[in-house]
Amino acid sequence: MIKHDVRDSLMGLNVQVSNVSKVQPNRVSPSKLLVLPWLIASLWVCGVAGGQESAKDNGLGLGSRKLADGVLTVIPPDQNAEDTALGPFDLEFVAKHPELNWTGPDFPNNQPNFASPAETLLYQSKNVTFRHPVWGLEFAFKPMRLIDVDIPNATGVMEKKTVWYLVYRIRYTGNDLQPALKDLSDSEAVPGEPKRVQYDSVRFIPRFTLLSKERRLAMDSQILMPAVQAIAARERIPGGRLVDPIEIARQELPVSKGGDEGSVWGVATWTDVDPRLDFFAIDVRGLTNAYQIQVDSGDEKKYLRRTLRIYFWRPGDALDVAKDRIYLGPPAYQDPARVNYYLQQFGLKERLDYQWIYR
């Protein structure tokens, strides 16, 4: 029984007791009068117990609520077989040792006398393909929102700030990719199709970045404990507990069998965002260990991590920012000129709500 029902029941009992007091005593059974106090006490205990149980949900005395269908945007993990292989590359640290060359006078043909050149270390250090397992996490999120919260500044004085925040849910569903060997004959390891595997648990070490081509900004999320508490009281997400990126990185994520089992709810927060911002994106890193190695014209290598980019737009101005609504994806219009303008603000060629990139 929830608190509302207990209060209504107690009010009803008060009416009944007052009505009983108005009738003649010889018409009321003494046993009924003894039952009423016990019933009232029982309902009060149930109400306190129910309130304590709800308070355990999120630590704020507010129970969680079930989300309606369609509120969450669910993005499944996206592991590709191509992500398990990197290269081919030449191992530069081997090529930097000329003493490894098979040269004369002992080796007049610049190769071993009784072995194939393909067996030398220098030869085997060329065109090397690196293979590694790839795991991924399911990422679900609610519509991005804004809230005004009192936050202490550098001097400790409380200051009202407009917080931009993204509530999300993380789940590990397994079904990861492991490089496999196709043939082991003659001591030759021939790569085959990666096989599906499942780990006991993984970790989500997130990095959220708010980007805007329009305003030329890139802002990493902030740790704002007063904002997390206010957002938790406002959202009342299933399971009740809402954590920041630091706390969520400490948790092991076991394999989830569906629903909210094994899932963790978190929130990414930003303050001091340009209130004139209309078009922006959120980059989410840490959802997978997939990466690429890019070699530029100067033979310098860059390591690019697989990143989820989510696009948003906000029709509003710099007044009453917290009351504005934020929408997922570029706006959809029939006018080609307007559609092209909005796509240019996101750097897109077609309308997308999100996409996987390497950065």
Read off the pLDDT of residues 228-272 as tens digits, 9 standing for 90 and up: 999 999 999 887 789 999 999 999 999 998 777 889 999 999 999
Tell me the pLDDT band of 18, cut-offs 50, 70 and 90.
very low
Tell me the pLDDT band of 60, cut-offs 50, 70 and 90.
low
Q: What CA–CA distance (Å, rounded) separates 313 from 329?
A: 7
Q: What CA–CA distance (Å, rounded) separates 199 from 218?
A: 34
Residue 52 lies in a domain: yes
Q: How many CB atoms lie within 10 A of CB 249?
A: 15
Q: How many CB atoms lie within 10 A of CB 131?
A: 15
The stretch 18-27 carries a mean pLDDT of 42
pLDDT at 65 over 60: yes
Domain that holds residue 115: 91-126
Considering the domain architecture, whether residues 51 and 147 belong to the same structural domain is answered as no
The conformation of residue 66, written as its DSSP 8-state character, comes to P
Tell me the pLDDT band of 12, cut-offs 50, 70 and 90.
very low
Q: How many CB atoms lie within 10 A of CB 206?
A: 21
pLDDT at 123 over 60: yes
Q: What CA–CA distance (Å, rounded) separates 125 from 347?
A: 40
Q: What is the rounded average pLDDT for all residues in the chain?
A: 81
Considering the domain architecture, whether residues 258 and 214 belong to the same structural domain is answered as yes
Considering the domain architecture, whether residues 50 and 104 belong to the same structural domain is answered as no
Q: What CA–CA distance (Å, rounded) separates 268 from 221?
A: 6
Q: What CA–CA distance (Å, rounded) separates 277 from 96?
A: 50
> pTM of the prediction?
0.77
Tell me the pLDDT band of 23, cut-offs 50, 70 and 90.
very low
- pLDDT: which is higher, 28 or 130: 130
Compute φ and ψ for 162, nearest 5 degrees: -90, 120
Considering the domain architecture, whether residues 53 and 191 belong to the same structural domain is answered as no
Considering the domain architecture, whether residues 219 and 247 belong to the same structural domain is answered as yes
Considering the domain architecture, whether residues 232 and 141 belong to the same structural domain is answered as yes
pLDDT of residue 183: 63
Q: Which residues of 319-338 are buried (b: 16+ CB within 10 A; e: fewer)?
A: eebeebebeebbeeeeeeee
pLDDT of residue 176: 94
The stretch 138-158 carries a mean pLDDT of 93
Residue 7 lies in a domain: yes
Q: What CA–CA distance (Å, rounded) separates 113 from 110?
A: 9
Considering the domain architecture, whether residues 161 and 208 belong to the same structural domain is answered as yes
Tell me the pLDDT band of 148, cut-offs 50, 70 and 90.
very high
Residue 321 lies in a domain: yes
Share of the chain above pLDDT 70, in %: 81
The domain total for the chain is 3
* Helix, strand, coil percent values for the chain (each to nearest 5): 30, 30, 40
Considering the domain architecture, whether residues 248 and 187 belong to the same structural domain is answered as yes
Residue 19 lies in a domain: yes
Considering the domain architecture, whether residues 303 and 261 belong to the same structural domain is answered as yes
Which of these, 224, 217, 259, 262, lies nearest to 243 by C-alpha position?
Answer: 224
Residue 65 lies in a domain: no
Cβ atoms 240, 169 nearer than 8 A: no
Tell me the pLDDT band of 13, cut-offs 50, 70 and 90.
very low
For 293-310, write each residue's pLDDT tens digit: 888 877 788 899 999 999
Considering the domain architecture, whether residues 141 and 122 belong to the same structural domain is answered as no
Q: Report which secondary-structure segment, H or E, holds 129.
A: strand 128-131
For 183-216, write each residue's pLDDT tens digit: 656 556 677 889 999 999 999 999 999 999 888 8
Cβ atoms 71, 237 nearer than 8 A: no
Residue 287 lies in a domain: yes
Considering the domain architecture, whether residues 192 and 231 belong to the same structural domain is answered as yes
Cβ-in-10-Å burial (0-12, 13-18, 19+) of 280 comes to: buried
Q: What CA–CA distance (Å, rounded) separates 211 from 42?
A: 56
pLDDT at 285 over 90: yes
